[in-house]
Amino acid sequence: MPFIQTEMIRLNQSFHTSAEAIDAAGQVLEAAGCVSPAYVQAMHERQALSSVYIGNQVAIPHGTEEAKSAVQKTGISILQVPAGVDFGGQTAKLVIGIAGVDDEHLELLSQIAVICSDEDNVERLVQAKTKEEILSLFMEEVA
């Protein structure tokens, strides 16, 4: 998956609220030049519409359709949250922020969903000790 770089992976994060986790995921995307600040706000709007928690301890914050213009380039931020963070009554230990140019976000969502539908993969990602471990798991699953 070419949109994941080690500098966009954060290990051992801790958040009190889903809003903090969404901010952090968005800030990684923003710092990498993938999105403007307006996209981070749209990630919160998307969560308010319906939870971005997808199951298996994974949340995938992303912006609304109206925020497409705030995406400068496709990217993924991965936050490992070993203690978990509450997303509307569900605990997420992986928070994966995505931003896609055009329809690339749909491809990203489907690839992430395939990887994260396997509980063993999620557990490996949550337990990973290095950014490279996380990167290699995504690469081998998509290959």
Give me the active site residues, please: 62
135 closest CA partner among 84, 77, 81: 77
95 closest CA partner among 117, 62, 118: 62
DSSP symbols for 51-64: --EEETTEE--B--
**Beta-bridge mates of residue 71:** 35
Rounded to whole angstroms, how far apart are CA atoms 71 and 3?
13
